[in-house]
Amino acid sequence: MGSRQEKLQQLLVVVTGGTRGIGFATAKVLAAQGYTLALWYHNRHEEAENARQLLGRLGATVHLQQVDVVDRLRVKQALIDLVGLPQKIYGLVNNAGILQQKPFYTLTDQEWDHMMAVNLKGAFICAQETMPIIERKGGSIVNVASSGGQLGGTLAVHYAASKAGVISLTKSLARLGASKDVRVNCVSPGLIETEMTREEIASVTGQEKINLQIPLQRVGTPDEIAATVAFLISDSASYITGQTVNVNGGLYMR
């Protein structure tokens, strides 16, 4: 019998937004464990290619695909390309997302719609197109939400609402997938140091959150989120589904 790593090489995990931030950190952990990866990115091709090459030097098999998660036809085509590979599509990490901080009364309909499209509709489309494939042999889906979806946020109302939707979507998909051996869970990060949150962390509001609202009094790292995502993807979490795992330094407790 082959080693566990050899077995995982036969399993493919799709990571949306997989070439930067939390997505790339997750890809590195999954690659180290032996999974074959499909990294979906929207733009910044050079950055994506650099990510692929780095993972390749670590010994990972990586398929780089330019996919707008809101474009259903492109999602379908990307999956068609992957289905033809020897590896079984085992997992999906719905990580692609955007953040905008803006006072509530100045938000436009277009900004609201764009936030909902990328953060919530994108997760819906990717899950709806991927689940029937995963259902054939079982697998795991992990959605990435945010503590903002649990706490609310006055400077990012549309972002918080979209992430609350991701948490609810997770519960519904977990019920749908259970009979077909598809587990669906959610990781809800707190304030994590990425390019997307750099401006917030540097702000007065961000520093107050770190010092006064986060018991551990520091921001988290993408690697700390990635470790939890990888655990939930793996069969070590075989009896966990429909759950939201909070990785936030104590910012939100329940």
Catalytic residues, by residue number, are: 159
Of the CA atoms within 13 Å of residue 121, those in its CB half-sphere come to 11
For helices 157-177 and 122-134, angle between their N-to-C axes, nearest 10 degrees: 20
How far is it, in rounded angstroms, from Cα 240 to Cα 98?
27
Contact 21, 222 (CB under 8 A): yes
DSSP 3-state of 228: helix
The runs of H, that is alpha helices, within 92-197 are: 109-116, 122-134, 148-151, 157-177
For helices 122-134 and 72-83, angle between their N-to-C axes, nearest 10 degrees: 30
How far is it, in rounded angstroms, from Cα 149 to Cα 88?
32
DSSP 3-state of 157: helix
